[in-house]
Amino acid sequence: MNNEVLTVQEVADYLRIDIRTVYRLAKRGDIPCKKIGRQWRFNREEIEGLVGSGLRNRDNGRPDFP
């Protein structure tokens, strides 16, 4: 089990999306994360799982990222 923790910037780079999109997804609860103080942290395995399952936008059903 890999417990590697990623920052917002690392998630944005991994998913090839804008950092503001990561914040938006985190705030809406669309992406699994933990907020520690003022910083968001993400488990690498959970983020990798999103890529496989395909995250969908709640509003229009389209993917939020490629």
What are the domain boundaries of the chain? Answer: 5-53
- What per-residue confidence (pLDDT) applies to 51? 82
- What per-residue confidence (pLDDT) applies to 39? 96
pTM of the predicted protein model: 0.75
The 10s digit of each residue's pLDDT in 26-65 is 999 999 999 999 999 999 999 999 887 766 555 555 555 5
- What per-residue confidence (pLDDT) applies to 53? 77
Helix (H), strand (E), coil (C) string for the chain: CCCCEECHHHHHHHHCCCHHHHHHHHHHCCCCCEEECCEEEEEHHHHHHHHHHCCECCCCCCECCC
Tokens 């993400």, residue located:
42
Averaged pLDDT, 8-33: 96
Q: What is the CATH number of domain 5-53?
A: 1.10.1660.10
CA atoms of 55 and 66, how far apart (whole Å): 9
